[in-house]
Amino acid sequence: MAGEHRILLFGANGQVGWELRSALGPLGAVRALARAEADLCEPDSLVSAIRGMAPTLIVNAAAYTAVDRAEDTDEEKTAIAANTTAPGILAEEAKRLGAAMVHYSTDYVFDGTRPVRPEDPAAWYREEDATGPLNVYGRTKLAGETAVLDTGVPALVFRTSWVYSLRGRNFLRTVLNLAAGRDTLSMVADQHGAPTWARAIAQATALVIARWGTGGGVDPSRRGIYHMTAAGATTWHGFATAIVRHAASSGQPLACAPGAIKPIPSDAFPTAATRPKNSLLSNERLHRAFGIALPHWETSLSLCLEDGWCTLPAGVPTNR
């Protein structure tokens, strides 16, 4: 597939977008746009960028992700513009050009009320299960899925969860910073999901695209929604404990020990936006359609931290 696509990537400086810059390279010519060049809240900038390049594939890794801030009325309008209206515009432009599209969504489209069975992936949420987002962010992302797919454009929508990397704002970096300065931490232990490394998402996306078609084209029969998360399951408390354990074993100077992280219920840590307690997504459809499965979440965490310690100064990673 090398050299066959003209790829226009939105959200180039985000966690997933940053990793996609390199992951998509073998598939063709990639033009990566950050917010300053193409703002989801400015439709004209999106249309201009697309028509200026005439890509064969649009990859949208940009989104409004301030989950709690989105609950504010004024911020909700921004979230709708970025997460619902903009993806629809991108899809319409892709359809006009005869191009394909890749778009990312979230586990927050579900209400999370299904009984939690971490040991049984067959019981996890599937793509066809009823949705019911509990917060503005989830509602705008769900509406964005619909806006993309309703155009009829050949599109893959990847729902992922608990995304982290060594860039930007995310749970991994928050825990490392907190653990560096505090000897005890408290973390929510009744929300279940799969922490998913941004690099694993980018690499899996590139593999899917490579298997989606030939000659710069795609197989429209495989369009639709696919779950794309790391294997395995944990809680925010389990994730935090693993972060500190892996960091400590690598010799990082942290004040908090893994055993000093206290499990707490969600209601002990109130937030503006309600989170689903069950965010476990089945990846069976992705594997069945494209033969791809992401690594276990703790394997990816270890690789992510090893990469960070090798490329960043000693101590807690800073934003690159």
Mean pLDDT of the chain: 92
Residue 308 has pLDDT above 50, yes or no: yes
Closest of 47, 28, 37 to residue 217, by C-alpha = 28
The partner residues of 6 in beta bridges, in order of sequence, read 29
Q: Which residue has the higher pLDDT, 216 or 91?
A: 91
CA dist., res. 282 & res. 122, Å (int): 7
Number of domains in the chain: 1
Residue 266 has pLDDT above 50, yes or no: yes
Q: Which residue has the higher pLDDT, 191 or 313?
A: 191
Please check whether residue 89 lies inside any domain of the structure.
yes
To the nearest 10 degrees (0 to 180), the angle between helices 198-212 and 297-311 is 110
Q: Give the pLDDT band of residue 168 (cuts 50, 70, 90).
A: confident
Residue 84 has pLDDT above 80, yes or no: yes
pLDDT, residue 170, reads 95
Please check whether residue 307 lies inside any domain of the structure.
no
Please check whether residue 214 lies inside any domain of the structure.
yes
* Phi, psi (deg, nearest 5) at residue 193: -165, -170
Q: Give the pLDDT band of residue 251 (cuts 50, 70, 90).
A: confident
Residues 6+ apart with CB under 8 A from 290: 207, 208, 211, 212, 222
pLDDT, residue 216, reads 56
Please check whether residue 119 lies inside any domain of the structure.
yes
Q: Give the pLDDT band of residue 314 (cuts 50, 70, 90).
A: very low
Structure tokens at 208: 């899917």
pLDDT, residue 1, reads 41
CA dist., res. 86 & res. 70, Å (int): 16
pLDDT, residue 93, reads 97
Residue 59 has pLDDT above 60, yes or no: yes
pLDDT, residue 129, reads 97
pLDDT, residue 220, reads 83
Tens-digit pLDDT profile for residues 129-154: 999 999 999 999 999 999 999 999 99
Q: How many secondary structure helices (H) and strands (E) does the chain include?
A: 10, 12
Tens-digit pLDDT profile for residues 13-52: 999 999 999 999 999 999 999 999 999 999 999 999 999 9
Closest of 278, 285, 243 to residue 260, by C-alpha = 243
What value does the mean pLDDT take over residues 286-303?
A: 96
Buried b (16+ CB within 10 A) or exposed e, 111-134: bbebebebeebeebbebeeeeebb
pLDDT, residue 316, reads 39
Please check whether residue 158 lies inside any domain of the structure.
yes
pLDDT, residue 117, reads 93
Q: Give the pLDDT band of residue 294 (cuts 50, 70, 90).
A: very high
Q: Give the pLDDT band of residue 231 (cuts 50, 70, 90).
A: very high
DSSP, res 122:
G
Please check whether residue 86 lies inside any domain of the structure.
yes
Is 125 known to be catalytic?
no
What value does the mean pLDDT take over residues 171-185?
A: 95
Please check whether residue 273 lies inside any domain of the structure.
no
User: The domain that contains 57 carries what CATH number?
Assistant: 3.40.50.720
Residue type, 139: R
To the nearest 10 degrees (0 to 180), the angle between helices 297-311 and 236-249 is 40
Tens-digit pLDDT profile for residues 179-220: 999 999 999 999 999 999 999 999 999 999 999 975 556 788
Residue 310 has pLDDT above 70, yes or no: no
Catalytic residue among 125, 137, 164, 226: 137
Domain that residue 31 falls in: 5-169+194-232+279-296
